[in-house]
């Protein structure tokens, strides 16, 4: 395996790939919001729900409940129908209109048992309906149904996010892939033009990388690529991102960054790569990289294209390589 020496005082790290919340744990307690305006009933129900293993928060009216739901973190909603300020049906309707990032399974409690009331509650967005007085065993069974649906939704969402992440990630290095670069970089340029913001682009090429593959084999070469990308990712901000352009070439996109700052960051990354220790089977492998930077000091000029930026980055990189490699060269966008 490769070893690398890293500086402890690095900047915030990040990449624009979707973040996952981790695997869904079916045994983890779910957060439940209980909405009831009658104080004694609220205390009794909250106690029973906590005994059943739920993490319970409470609200005494629909408006207060909606404020809490919009903050996020709840998987289940158990709400009374008749409440002041905003009743349960209005709350269900407002919850569905809010389009929260995660689904909140909603159980509506009421003393109204007519079919028209059941239909009104379900049409408003409730998932289930329970008529008072409530039997504990039925309440637990209905919530257990809600739990199964919530966990299924979480699993599907996690799977979709993982598929999305894999579709934009280079499988070898963990950087973004070229397809992602071609899709997102034009949008970054358009945003910089529209809002009058600076933008810098950095091209990084590992020096004499063919020698590593020829001398030590492609397995070691792949390890070097992975370790180098980790260094790049750990040296950028959360708003910046790295894409594999091809082979041992990478492009770093620096939104909201004028050329002088882009040049400084690129040179910091160059030094980090030069100082890192890459090793395999007891041998130390010297690894350096050449950098080319193109960027604006102010607004990106209207009409600038992705091809223009990449071409100017490539020009700067060519200067670094012909001047002896392990250098950083930059130029203003034309």
Q: Which residues are catalytic?
A: 248
Long-range contacts of 165-168 (CB under 8 A, 24+ apart): 165/17, 165/18, 165/20, 168/17
Q: What would the 3-class secondary structure string for 186-218 be?
A: HHHHHHHHHHCCCEEEEEEEECCHHHHHHHHCH
Quick one: which of 247, 171, 263 has its CA closest to 205?
A: 247
Classified as helix, coil or strand, 221 is helix
Question: Which residue from 177, 180, 35 is spatially nearest to 94, judged by alpha carbons?
Answer: 35
Q: Give the span between the Cα atoms of 88 and 115, in whole angstroms.
A: 17
Q: 168: part of which helix (H) or strand (E)?
A: none
The residues, any chain, with a CB within 8 Å of residue 296's CB and separated by 6 or more, are 192, 198, 199, 200, 258, 259, 332, 333
How is residue 57 written in tokens? 């928060």
Place of tokens 């809490």: 68
User: HSE on the CB side for 242, CA within 13 Å?
Assistant: 27
Q: Checking phi first, is residue 305 left (phi over 0); if not, alpha (psi -120 to 50) or beta?
A: beta
């Amino acid at each position: 395996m490769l070893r690398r020496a890293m500086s402890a005082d690095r900047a915030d790290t990040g990449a624009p790939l979707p973040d996952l919340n981790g695997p869904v744990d079916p045994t983890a307690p779910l957060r439940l919001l209980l909405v009831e305006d009658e104080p004694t009933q609220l205390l009794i129900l909250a106690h029973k729900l906590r005994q059943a293993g739920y993490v319970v928060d409470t609200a005494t009216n629909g408006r207060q409940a909606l404020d809490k739901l919009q903050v996020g973190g709840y998987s289940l909603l158990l709400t009374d129908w008749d409440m002041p300020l905003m009743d349960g049906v209005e709350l269900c309707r407002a919850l569905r209109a809010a389009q929260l990032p995660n689904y909140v399974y909603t159980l509506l409690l009421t003393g109204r048992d007519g079919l028209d009331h059941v239909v009104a509650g379900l049409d408003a967005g409730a998932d289930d309906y329970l008529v008072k007085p409530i039997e504990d065993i039925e309440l637990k069974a209905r919530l257990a149904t809600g739990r199964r649906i919530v966990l299924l939704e979480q699993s599907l969402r996690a799977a979709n996010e993982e598929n999305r992440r894999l579709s934009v990630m280079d499988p070898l290095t963990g950087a973004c892939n070229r397809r992602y670069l071609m899709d997102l970089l034009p949008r970054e340029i358009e945003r910089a033009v529209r809002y009058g913001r600076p933008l810098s682009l950095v091209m990084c090429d590992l020096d004499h990388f063919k020698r590593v593959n020829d001398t030590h084999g492609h397995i070691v070469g792949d390890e070097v690529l992975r370790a180098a990308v980790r260094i790049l990712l750990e040296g950028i901000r959360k708003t910046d991102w790295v894409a594999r352009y091809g082979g041992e070439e990478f492009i770093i996109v620096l939104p909201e960054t004028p050329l002088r700052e882009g040049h400084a960051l690129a040179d910091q990354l160059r030094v980090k790569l030069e100082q890192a220790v890459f090793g395999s089977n007891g041998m130390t492998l010297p690894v350096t990289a050449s950098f080319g930077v193109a960027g604006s000091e102010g607004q990106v000029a209207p009409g600038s294209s992705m091809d223009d930026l990449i071409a100017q980055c490539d020009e700067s990189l060519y200067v670094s390589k012909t001047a002896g490699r392990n250098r950083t060269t930059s130029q203003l966008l034309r």
